[in-house]
Amino acid sequence: MLSDFKSELSRLLADRIETLFGVEYEPIVEVPPRRELGDLAYPAALHLARILKRNPRAIAEELAADFPSPVFVRDLRVEGAGYLNFFLDRGLVAGQLLSEPLIQPEAGAGDRIVLEHTNINPNKAAHIGHLRNAVLGDVLSKVLRALGHTVEVENYIDDTGVQLADVVVGFIDLRKMTLEAVAALPEPFDYYCWDLYAEVGRWYEEDPQNQELRRQTLRELEHGSGPRAEMGRLISRRVVSRHLATMRRLAIAYDLLTHEGAVLGLDFFSEAFEQLKSAGSVHLEDDGKNAGCWVMPLSESEEFAGLEDPDKVIVRSDGTVTYVGKDIAYQLWKFGLLDKDFQYRFWRAEDIWETTVDGEPEHPSFGQADRVINVIDIRQSYLQKIVKAGLEALDYDEQARQSIHFAYEMVTLSPATARQFGFLEDDSEEAAGNLEMSGRKGIGVKADDLIDQLEAKSREEISLRNREMSPEALDILAHQIAIAALRFFMVKATTNRVIAFDLDEALSFEGDSGPYLQYSAVRALNISRRLGEAGLPTQVSPAEVAALPPEVWADDLWDLILAVALIPQKTEAAGDTLELSLLARHALELAQKFHAIYHKHPILQEQDVAVRSARLATMQVFVEGLTVLSDLLGLPLPDRM
């Protein structure tokens, strides 16, 4: 693998620098901007120039002279200001890529990771902002698993919160509906709730007195008993079921649903609270604005320096627990630091385990993580820091370090799309910027609507070029293309950038898009099929590849092979930095190179066997690389388009 080649070269270079100059140096390797400059570039001489006070070019020449090049190095040159550039044996690298799996994690090296994502309030339909969370979380789970970690994916359901309470109020007090009537409402239930939730918001505004009903409902939800709690359970159940169905459309699944109701019902907090108290991390405030509250001081942590209020309330003066308190308890459970465990029940209809207060005796084991990753939007950074500070306060320093907030920016609506959906009154506000989505106001593009539109668009495109497809095949293909378009759209954006969602852009299947990647794979498949039909070999073996004469490896082919060789490093980088867009962009790069080769280096018509073999081998390497990346990104590769 390329990384092996790299590390061997780096080691040889470090040795040489040590013997020649007596300097300890950790070589850095780069990829030259243009292929003719080389395959791997070491700027070592440029770095050494300062230490040795010598001309970098002269240093490079000295390093290059009599360099003990291994067999896979074809040439070594000094370029530019003093770069040491290596040219590799192309056939050797290509053969290697075809002979072993691209990504091979070391056995037993993986961590046990609890990864929490999606976490949609169970009171309304999922919107495109939630999709960003779910897709990022899902891709991360695949990346971490590929790197050898054991990943448990949890979806946290806040079934005792204000948002659910509001919809309960909507059904009981605004609509005056019974449990039976609500149970009998037709699907899509989450769409119904979407509108009702917004309506309740307006109702509160009309008469703030109505908010008393919210408080009463919230108390009942937290307590878990009474007609309002029962209504809450029904709503939450039906809405979560819809969310799971939406996510299933995108091939996103979970190992465990964790319910806030269970965290409360099993009183996780009381034990966490005892830990916090005996560690002296919280104290009862006896005067000031937080009088009567248990607070956690944050002033000692430099992270919170300059904060106006250096204390965080954990237990309110009325004795109830804040969100942060619950979250610290939950985080402790994830690490196995709480003496309590959930009860578990298998939700058969949804084929998933969930937490409860009275569960089944037999169940898999959950939690006990080495590392915890919470996929939550960036606005929650402050709260996630407090949870971390809570672990630190309990001297769980290692777990605090392993508490990772995977933060990503918001999804807003572009002015054009906001207008299209009627969220901007008229076009008088020409200069209107992006519109923030708001469940409370009913502003947003629902996930299922978007997927429906993407499928419709796919069908349209397919029918333009493929008239004789069966309806079943059409359904499957349209769906594959739609989810690739959507998933790719969400992953290609860097996490710290706000996505201004534009429907037309999302529906574009050209250029930087999932379908573009799929199309490149379809083309490769077609070539294999046509080769077979023509009675020509459809595969080249690694041994044949290594034996090909060097001149058959045109630069275009080699570029693509090198790009595939870089996939393991890109994957590691994505896992380390949580910047998953690296993978999306790298996949694009592969597809772009392949499409170009497709036009420039035809395989089927090529008469020269060696040349054809090299092209075919490159295609095999490409398919291998694209398959790996598509699996990581969760993009299905259809067999035709």
Partner RNA sequence: GCGGCUGUAGCUCAGCUGGAUAGAGCUGGGGCUUCCUAAGCCCUGAGUCGGGGGUUCGAGUCCUCCCAGCCGCACCA
Residues from 474 through 533 that contact RNA (CB under 7 A) = 477, 481, 493-494, 496-500, 505, 508-512, 515-516, 519, 522-523, 526-527, 530
Smallest separation (angstroms) from RNA to the CB of 362: 31
- What single string gives the DSSP state of each residue in 538-595? S---HHHHHHS-GGG--HHHHHHHHHHHTHHHHHHHHHHH--THHHHHHHHHHHHHHH
Contact 23/48 with Cβ under 8 angstroms? Answer: yes
Residues of this chain, 606-635, that bind RNA according to CB under 7 A: none
DSSP helix, strand, coil percent of the chain (3-state; round to 5):
55, 15, 35
Alpha-carbon distance of 141 to 401, in angstroms, equals 19
Nearer to RNA, 176 or 467 (CB): 467
Site for RNA in 172-211 (CB under 7 A): none
Nearer of residues 151 and 167 to RNA, judged by Cβ: 167
Binding mask 204-243 for RNA (x = CB under 7 A): ----------------------------------------
Residues in region 315-354 near RNA by CB under 7 A: 316-318, 322-323
Q: Which of 468, 608, 624, 558 minimizes the C-alpha distance to 32?
A: 558
Kindly tell me which residue out of 18, 187, 195, 309 binds RNA, with binding defined by CB under 7 A: 309
For RNA, the closer of residues 121 and 399 by Cβ is 121
- What residues have CB less than 8 Å from 211, skipping those under 6 apart? 204
Which segment (105-113, 171-179, 543-551, 588-596) binds RNA by CB under 7 A?
588-596
Tokens for 284? 């009862």
- Residue closer to RNA (CB basis): 202 or 600: 600
Name the pairing type of β-strands 352-356 and 256-259: parallel
Binding residue for RNA, selected from 244, 598, 618, 630, defined by CB under 7 A:
598
Site for RNA in 11-70 (CB under 7 A): 28-34, 37-38, 41, 43, 46-47, 49-50
Q: To the nearest whole angstrom, how small is the minimum distance from the Cβ of residue 16 to RNA? A: 18
Close Cβ partners of 16 (under 8 Å, ≥ 6 residues apart):
63, 67, 68
Shortest approach of RNA to residue 476 CB, angstroms?
12
Whole-number minimum distance, CB 188 to RNA, in Å? 23
Q: How far is the CB of 562 from RNA (least distance, A)?
A: 13
Local structure of residue 291 (DSSP, 8 states): T
Q: Which is nearer to RNA, 259 or 371 (CB)?
A: 259
User: Which of 601, 595, 594, 621 is CA-nearest to residue 540?
Assistant: 621
Q: Does 419 engage in binding with RNA (CB under 7 A)?
A: no
Q: Which residues contact 130 (CB under 8 A, 6 or more apart)?
A: 118, 120, 447
Considering only residues 546 through 575, tell me which ones interact with RNA, judged by CB under 7 A. 573
Nearest approach, Cβ of residue 641 and RNA (Å): 4
Among 409, 449, 572, 631, binds RNA (CB under 7 A): 409
1, 229, 239, 313: which one contacts RNA (CB under 7 A)? Answer: 313
Single out the residue of 113, 443, 587, 588 in contact with RNA (rule: CB under 7 A): 588
Q: How far is CA 630 from the centre of its chain?
A: 13
**Which of 176, 289, 348, 467 contacts RNA by CB under 7 A?**
289
CB 127 → RNA: shortest distance, Å?
A: 16
How many CB atoms are located within 10 Å of the residue 226 CB?
14
Q: Which is nearer to RNA, 151 or 235 (CB)?
A: 235
Shortest distance, position 501 Cβ to RNA, whole Å: 10
Residue 237 corresponds to which tokens in the numbers above? 């159940």
Query: Shortest distance, CB of residue 176 to RNA, whole angstroms?
Result: 26
Cα–Cα distance measured from residue 56 to residue 52, given in angstroms and rounded to the nearest whole number: 9
Query: What's the rounded Cα separation, in Å, for the pair 641 and 297?
Result: 59
Q: How far is the CB of 321 from RNA (least distance, A)?
A: 8
Angle at which helix 56-64 crosses helix 2-21, to 10 degrees, equals 110
Instruction: CB nearer to RNA: give 109 or 464.
Output: 464
Of the candidates 85, 133, 331, 613, which one interacts with RNA according to CB under 7 A? 85
Exactly one of 93, 182, 462, 626 binds RNA (CB under 7 A); that residue is 462
Residue 111 binds RNA (CB under 7 A): no
Scored b (16 or more CB within 10 A) or e, 412-432 reads bbbbebbbeeebbeeeeeeee
Pairing verdict, β 403-408 and 371-377: parallel
Of the candidate residues 549, 596, 608, 609, the single one contacting RNA (CB under 7 A): 596
Query: Which one of 176, 348, 465, 467 is in contact with RNA (CB under 7 A)?
Result: 465
Tell whether residue 372 is a contact of RNA (CB under 7 A). Answer: no
> Which of 106, 58, 117 lies closest to 84, judged by CA?
58
Could you tell me where the DSSP H helices lie in 70-178? 90-99, 128-146, 162-169
Residue 340, by phi and psi: left (phi above 0), alpha (psi -120 to 50) or beta? beta
Angle of CA points 292, 295, 296, to nearest 5°: 170
Q: What are phi and psi of 30, to 5 degrees?
A: -130, 170
Q: What are phi and psi of 19, to 5 degrees?
A: -70, -40
Per CB under 7 A, which region of 194-202, 274-282, 338-346, 578-586 contacts RNA?
Answer: 578-586
* Burial grade of 280 (CB within 10 A; 0-12, 13-18, 19 or more): exposed
605 lies in the site for RNA, by CB under 7 A: yes
Which amino acid is it at 88?
L
Footprint (CB under 7 A) of RNA, residues 249-288: 260
Count the residues of the shown chain that bind RNA, applying the rule CB under 7 A.
99
Task: In whole angstroms, give the CA distance from residue 139 to residue 571.
Answer: 11
Rank residues 143 and 500 by Cβ distance to RNA and give the closer one.
500
Of 176, 348, 467, 599, the residue at the interface with RNA (CB under 7 A) is 599
Interface pattern 129-158 for RNA (x via CB under 7 A): -----------------------------x
Supply the minimum distance, in Å, between the C-beta of residue 166 and RNA: 11
Q: Which is nearer to RNA, 10 or 399 (CB)?
A: 10
Contacts of 531 (CB under 8 A, 6+ apart): 537, 538, 603, 604, 616
